[in-house]
Amino acid sequence: MKFLANLLAVPLLLLPAQAQVFTFTHDEMLKYTSHNPFGRFEDGRPKVPDAILAKVKGLSAEEVWAVLPGGGFHNQYEGNFRILHPNRKLVGRAVTAQFMPARPDVADIMEADAKGKGLRDNGNQRVLDLLKPGDVLVVDLFGKIEEGTIVGDNLAAYIYAVTGTGLVVDGAIRDLEGIQPLDMSVYFRGAHPTPIRNVMLTGINVPIRIGGATVMPGDVVFGDSEGVYFIPPQMVKQVVDKADETHIHDEWTQAKIKTGKYKSTDIYPSPRDPALKKEYEEYKKAKLAQQ
């Protein structure tokens, strides 16, 4: 009965989004993420496979950044976060949400829409209801701290229970102490005791801006102790492949450094002496062959 299931699934998935100002039709989602080489969710959002996400988890930031600018992607990184567990990597597929300062005229229309669809009136939770395993919620709250708290400890626990990943918010969280014990990764601008207020949820799964980065639904989110990277699906394979080579290069370079026999410019960024250069090329070839 997969056919019927799909029929039912689609409205359920799309309803909440349709109660927002900004959302994509299925066609628009396909159009704006048309470079995605992988499968998709029912709403069209790119679904980078779990196997690839697992590989991304093993990458370093250097390996991610080694590829993105070359592909013309200069605006896929944002730092300046407070990070709940800096030593835990955050990897998953972006679900995006955009908030704006509340206006009753616009908010009322959206709430009427939502009510018509049987949705409760908690704007910030509607997007939570959409989350799936492997998703990472990425929220534009325009840097609001006071009354800009996307979740407290209960809803943070919900996010972690459903996704197994974490949260990126250009805004705040509540109940830091209650969230700390959770194993989840959270990137946030600040913590404040006030509940979220005076904002409205204007977009779900549309392009959003997080600081200097533009995030698309379905991007692979990669967070480390430095900040967060948003990798377009079509770049992920290249990132993973190139990483092997970078890894070999670093291994060889650091081994040479440890000998104490070389000046920095002798071996980095590439060996200077022809003999060393050859040695490195052979090492790389051999290593790549083993992969």
* Binding to a second copy, residues 189-228 (CB under 8 A): 190-194, 198, 200, 202, 206-207, 209, 212-214, 216, 224-227
Of 1-9, 75-83, 237-245, 276-284: span binding a second copy (CB under 8 A): 75-83
Chosen residue from 79, 116, 281, 288 binding a second copy by CB under 8 A: 79
Q: Which of residues 93-152 bind a second copy (CB under 8 A)?
A: 100-106, 109, 119-120, 122, 125-126, 128-129, 142, 145, 152
The verdict on 25 binding a second copy (CB under 8 A) reads: no
- Rounded CA separation 34/26 (Å): 12
Q: Which of residues 261-290 bind a second copy (CB under 8 A)?
A: 263-265, 268-269, 272
Angle among Cα 247, 248, 249 to the nearest 5 degrees reads 90
Cβ proximity to a second copy, 74 vs 278, nearer residue = 74
Amino acid at 194: T
Cβ-contact 131, 95 below 8 angstroms: yes
- Closest approach, Cβ 290 to a second copy, in A, equals 22
Chosen residue from 92, 218, 232, 271 binding a second copy by CB under 8 A: 232
Residue 219 DSSP one-character state: P
Cβ proximity to a second copy, 52 vs 162, nearer residue = 162
- Closest approach, Cβ 207 to a second copy, in A, equals 6
Question: Tokens standing for 151?
Answer: 């979740």
- Rounded CA separation 256/247 (Å): 14
- Closest approach, Cβ 76 to a second copy, in A, equals 8
Exposure letters 122-157 (e unless 16+ CB within 10 A, then b): ebbebbbebbeebbbbbbbbeebbeebbbbbbebbb
- In three-state secondary structure terms, 266 is helix
